[in-house]
Structure 1
Amino acid sequence: MKTILIFGAGWLGNAVVDTLVSSKRKIIVATRSQVLQKSNPAIEYRKISFHAQSGAIEFEVPMTQKVDEVLVMLPPSKMVNYAHTIESICKQFSSVDHFIFTSSTGVYQEHSGWVYEDSALKKGHSVVLAEEQIGRNFQKKATILRLAGLIGNNRHPVRYFLEKKINLNGNTPVNLIHRKDIINALTILLENPRPGIFNLCYPAHPTKSEYYSEIARELFQTQLEFDLQGSGKMINGSKFASTFKYEYQFDIHDLDNLDKVNKDNK
């Protein structure tokens, strides 16, 4: 039985763990939260902290188990040195067979038009530096998924726009991906490891004005106001789709995919 070590048990991570329980893996979840061992014997929770100065990962109880796969879903916010945090994970688990990192399409430079995996990146961006650490440590064993804006259960950017009288840059395209498509992609990668960098983004890019006005009207019976300025990038997620013969399944326009989104839960 393979052992997978997962860093990050938040909105995305918990849903991934719930899905992987049926994958016949031993699952270890490294979390900063209070460890409450759950009843499922397939999941082991390990308490971690970050070194106050360097940001390096520290386990409350040292890891002794052999780990075959590492999945990192840690957001860079509230970290002292994100790149060093990722580097410390790489060095502690350098012998794993497969290393997966959920990055962000925010690493790309501002650009009008299509953006691909080899498009220009923001030099010095914390997530770009983290990706570079992974590349140095796992040249042929790492998969990096650059995720577009996340939507899904009780999460949608429309709530941000509801709070503003006038929303800027209404002509900018949207780049979104449903949590369930991300989980599907991770499941595919764990069964069919493939090193490389892949964008994950639903293949529809209406303008912010078109898309968020539609969602606000349908979900909240509210009219949004946008200026019709701006332009921007459109993330191309076709490389993953063609490599793994995958079809994105969760339409960003389908209200049935936007369950439990409301104004009160932010």
Structure 2
Amino acid sequence: MKTILIFGAGWLGNAFVEELVSSKHKIIVASRRPIPQKSHPNIEYRKIFFHIQSGAIEFEFPPPQKVNDIIVMLPPTQMVDYAHTIDSICRQFPSVGHFIFTSSTGVYEDHSGTVNEDGVLKKVHPVVLAERKIQMNFPNNATILRLAGLIGNDRHPARYFLKKKINPSGNAPVNLIHRKDILKALNLLLENPCPGIYNLCYPSHPTKSDYYGQIARKIFQTELEFENQGEGKVINGSKFANTFHYEYKYDIRDIDHLQEVGIDNK
């Protein structure tokens, strides 16, 4: 039985914890949120705090001593120094076997064309700086997952386009990934670690106007208007698929996966 420490209990983190409930592993969830009154016996919650000035992570009680895998799913929002926060996690667990970090494809420069893991990065992006801290601390046993735009049964970016009369960049490609594909990828990494940097993105890239227009009509019963212009990058997620013999399973165009988004998200 392994001990898996998860930082972050948000939209993605909570879903992954639920996936692991049936496993034989011991799961420790470190979160700023209030500790649930009831939880599964395999799951232990630890309250964490962020140092006001430095952003360093602090545990309310002593941190766990022996951890096999760490998965960090903390977004950079509302953090004083995101890179320092991530670095403080790394330094508290120097002997961890495998360190997994959910990054973002937003770290790439806004160039047109296909972008793989060697693409040009935004040098001062907080997530890029965090990635570098991880690579310095764990040069041989860290996995960085650069996630495309997140979608799921209760979350879809289409609702943001409903707020504008005319949306920009209608011809730009979309880069999206369903939460269920991410959860399967994380499980694969726990079962068969292969450290490295991987993009996770569904291998279909319709234009924004075509894709979001379809979603808006089907789910929100609304027509969207887009400017007939724009270009952008296409994220290539084939490295992960080839390395782990994985086929992306949740088609971003399959409306059945998105019905629970609901019209109330306007």
What is the CA–CA distance in structure 2 between the aligned matches of 1:225 and 1:250, rounded to whole Å?
27
Offset of 1:37 from its aligned partner? 4.4
Tell me how far 1:35 sits from its aligned partner.
1.2
User: Partner residue of 1:100?
Assistant: 100
- Which runs of structure 1 show a deviation greater than 3 angstroms over 4 or more consecutive aligned residues? none
Q: Partner of 2:28 in structure 1?
A: 28
Q: Which residue of 1 aligns with 2:196?
A: 196
Structure 1 CA distance for aligned equivalents of residues 194 and 259 of structure 2: 32
CA positional deviation for 1:34: 1.1
- The answer (yes or no) to whether the contact 1:113–1:234 under 8 Å persists in 2 is yes
The alpha carbon displacement at 1:265 in A equals 3.5
Greater alpha carbon shift after TM alignment, 36-45 vs 102-111: 36-45
Where does residue 160 of structure 1 map in the other structure?
160
Structure 1, residues 90-137: CA drift from partner, whole Å, max 9, x if none? 000110000000000000001101000001000010000000000000
Kindly state the Cα deviation for residue 199 of structure 1 after the two structures are TM-superposed: 0.1
Say which SS state the counterpart of residue 46 (structure 1) adopts: strand
Q: Supply the distance in 2 between the matched residues of 1:265 and 1:79 (Cα, whole angstroms).
A: 27
What root-mean-square deviation, in Å, do the aligned CA atoms of Structure 1 and Structure 2 show?
Answer: 0.9
Q: Does 1:184 align with 2:184?
A: yes
1:220 and 2:220 matched: yes
Rounded to whole Å, the distance in 2 between the matches of 1:244 and 1:179 is 18
The answer to whether the Cα contact below 8 Å between 1:154 and 1:265 also exists between their aligned partners in 2 is no
State the distance in 2 between where 1:77 and 1:259 align: 28
Kindly indicate whether residue 169 of structure 2 is the aligned counterpart of residue 149 of structure 1.
Answer: no
Aligned length: 266
TM-score (norm 2): 0.98
- In the alignment, which residue of structure 2 is the partner of 1:46? 46
For structure 1, list consecutive stretches of 5 or more residues without a partner in the other structure. none
CA–CA separation in structure 2 for the residues paired with 1:43 and 1:230: 46
Give the secondary structure class of the aligned counterpart of 1:61: coil
What's the secondary structure of 1:23's corresponding residue? coil
Q: Is the 8 A contact 1:152 1:259 kept in 2?
A: no
CA distance in 1, matches of 2:263, 2:78: 25
Identity of aligned residues (%): 71
User: Paired residue for 1:230?
Assistant: 230
Q: What is the alpha-carbon distance in structure 1 between the residues aligned to residue 137 and residue 125 of structure 2?
A: 19
Cα shift at 1:39: 3.4
Find the residue that maps to 1:258 and give its secondary structure.
Answer: helix
Amino acid at match of 1:20: L
The answer for the alignment partner of 2:137 in structure 1 is: 137
The amino acid of 2:261's aligned partner reads V
Query: How far did residue 64 of structure 1 move?
Result: 3.8
* Distance (Å, rounded) in 2 between the aligned partners of 1:38 and 1:91: 31
Q: Supply the AA of the counterpart residue of 1:187.
A: N
